[in-house]
Amino acid sequence: MESSKRLAKFQKYISFLKKKLCILLDAKPYAIVDVASKHISSASICGVYAISLKGSDDILYIGKNETATIAERAKQHIYMREHSDLKTMIKRYPDLAQNLQDYCIRWIDIPMPDDRHFFEAFAIGVLRPRMNFKKINK
């Protein structure tokens, strides 16, 4: 009986994650430079975000914000110089657009930190966005 309760709880959480993934993928994409430089009220939340090229539904990167808002995280992706900033990531892929204006971001509000962490991992596992994995040059 205990294992069937655990299985039911597991299935319920997987269903929650699948619904959230559909919401993220259907979310309106905004130019990442606009989100970083302008006040878009819906970007003032904590959640999980997806980066893609403008006009494409092919998700290239999935991330979450811990304390910063989505807008602040977009700004960090554009202006910070670290392994996870967008400019550094796109340099690893010369076949992708190298201009930050060519990228957009969409997001979903996930207020609970544990849910953000698990959803980010789930979305990366399901979508396998290429920028979430280190490119190995051969």
pLDDT tens per residue across span 40-78: 778 888 899 999 999 999 999 999 988 788 888 888 888
Segment 74-87 mean pLDDT: 79
Q: How many domains, in total, are found in the chain?
A: 1
Position 137 pLDDT exceeds 70: no
Least confident of 1-10, 88-97, 103-112, 121-130: 1-10
Of 60, 51, 123, 66, nearest to 92 by C-alpha is 60
Predicted pLDDT at 84: 65
Largest CA distance in the chain: 56
Of 39, 67, 41, 59, nearest to 106 by C-alpha is 59
> By the 8 A CB rule, do 52 and 103 touch?
yes
Q: Can you name the residues that pair with 8 across neighbouring β-strands? A: none
111: in domain? yes
Segment 29-41 mean pLDDT: 86
Predicted pLDDT at 138: 43
138: in domain? no
pTM here? Answer: 0.88
Predicted pLDDT at 93: 92
Burial class (CB in 10 A: 0-12, 13-18, 19+), 27: middle
> By the 8 A CB rule, do 51 and 104 touch?
yes
137: in domain? no
18: in domain? yes
29: in domain? yes
Pick left, alpha or beta for residue 113 (phi over 0 → left; psi -120 to 50 → alpha; otherwise beta): alpha
Task: Walk across the sheet containing 103-109 and list its strands.
Answer: 30-31, 103-109, 47-53, 59-64
Residue ranges making up the domain that contains 36:
2-132
Kindly report the CATH number assigned to the domain that includes residue 52. 3.40.1440.10
Segment 13-41 mean pLDDT: 91
